[in-house]
Amino acid sequence: MIECSDIVGQDEAVARIQRAMSQSRMPHAYLFAGPDGVGRRTTAIALARTLLCPQPVSVAAGRSFRQACGKCPDCRMVEAGSHPDFHPVYKELAAYHDDSEVRDRVMQSLSIGVIQQFLIDAVGRSSTRGRGKVFVVEEAELMTHEAQNALLKTLEEPPPGVTIILICEKPEELLPTTLSRCSLVRFSLLPREFVAGKLAEAGVAADEARFWAAFTQGSVGRAMALSGAGMYEVKREVLSRLAGLPPAGDVELGEQLAERSDKLAETAVAASRKAEGPTLAKTLASRQSAGTMLELIASAYRDALALRTGAELEIIHADQRRQLDSLATRFTPEQLAGIIESLSECERLLWRNVNPRIVWDNAVLACASGTALRV
């Protein structure tokens, strides 16, 4: 179990929450905002456990923390995701909605149906274990305007003992009325050395650890996931192949990239099955994985562009400098910029349901020739 005092790299966020608790004027609605993989969810669960634990403790770790005991049945139930007063709310809950129309809708937003049934209605029911209730809304920016408007009153004045934590990446995408009713806690990207250190602790080699820290710009969660999925070897191989790509392209490479991306999606779906919370849908996982692969490739061309133009940017693929130099000498800055643009166009095509194989073939062709995409 991760408790408040174990959360690292987010001192300011944790201090804000701790201050509020010690002064016993806890806000009843929080907005935890920041990039994915930096501890928003971990902190939300640690806070939920502290609020639902009948015997929270004070520990001194540099400063004093009020946190869950970590031993009682309530603490264990929150951890296992089975506490009756701990309510994660996420878009995939639509699949369990009473109304078949809500069930059938594509789950790309948090609909009013889900917010009404799993949050607003559930808030109104009394606490089972008598210590209040905690709701954690994942990807809160996906709430439709209708859902947000329906939630306003609950956010402003929930019944006593109810705490609602909205988790989001981009608070500016929420309605101002929603924002103004929440106490905003910002989570920042973690220092590169910190992320690299965490990976090293998990047994990742130094070069790889440094690479993921730079590539994810300091998201320990994302770095761990990509490293765990064996993506470092994949990126090493792909960058080597790209550096030696003949101008006519390489049909085999397109096929392999499509396969790699599929495999990464399968790993992500399997990992989400093991973790608490929603299971990742295969189509979504496929698009996200392809997006990650495209991002990995684009970052190499961005490095090459920086080397070519002498721009003072952080070089992400520093572990494959020779390959970067070869890309930087082979293409003009305009061509490199064109390749990067083509790769983001590829991602847009995937989201528009274009056959992944066609997209990958075109991505390889753009990388080989330095000419814009022709789909």
Interface characters, 38-77, with Zn ion (x: CB under 5 A): ---------------x--------------xx--x--x--
Q: Which residues pair with 163 in a beta bridge?
A: 134
Q: How many residues comprise the chain?
A: 375
Residues in the interface with Zn ion (CB under 5 A) total 5
CB of 232 to Zn ion, least distance (A): 39
| Residue of 266, 243, 267 whose CA lies nearest to 253 | 243
Toward Zn ion, which CB reaches closer, 48 or 75? 75
Q: Which residues pair with 137 in a beta bridge?
A: 89, 166
Residue 141 CA to residue 31 CA, distance in Å, equals 11
Q: Per CB under 5 A, does 2 bind Zn ion? A: no
CB of 367 to Zn ion, least distance (A): 54
Q: Are 110 and 91 in contact (CB under 8 A)?
A: yes
CB of 68 to Zn ion, least distance (A): 5
Given phi > 0 = left and psi -120 to 50 = alpha, else beta, which region is 139? left
CB of 5 to Zn ion, least distance (A): 14
Residue 355 CA to residue 261 CA, distance in Å, equals 13
CB of 71 to Zn ion, least distance (A): 6
Interface characters, 71-110, with Zn ion (x: CB under 5 A): -x--x-----------------------------------
Toward Zn ion, which CB reaches closer, 97 or 133? 133
Q: Give the type of residue at 121.
A: D
Toward Zn ion, which CB reaches closer, 69 or 150? 69
CB of 32 to Zn ion, least distance (A): 22
Toward Zn ion, which CB reaches closer, 5 or 362? 5
Q: Are 247 and 364 in contact (CB under 8 A)?
A: no
Q: Are 266 and 230 in contact (CB under 8 A)?
A: no
Toward Zn ion, which CB reaches closer, 134 or 298? 134
Residue whose pair of structure tokens reads 């907005």 in the numeric block:
31
Residue 325 CA to residue 347 CA, distance in Å, equals 26
Interface characters, 238-257, with Zn ion (x: CB under 5 A): --------------------
CB of 4 to Zn ion, least distance (A): 13
Residue 201 CA to residue 271 CA, distance in Å, equals 21
Toward Zn ion, which CB reaches closer, 50 or 117? 50
What ranges in the chain are assigned the alpha helix state H?
11-22, 40-52, 73-80, 100-104, 112-115, 121-124, 145-156, 176-180, 192-201, 206-215, 220-228, 231-243, 251-274, 282-309, 321-330, 333-351, 356-369
Toward Zn ion, which CB reaches closer, 69 or 269? 69
CB of 76 to Zn ion, least distance (A): 8
Toward Zn ion, which CB reaches closer, 84 or 191? 84
| Residues engaged in binding Zn ion (CB under 5 A) | 53, 68-69, 72, 75
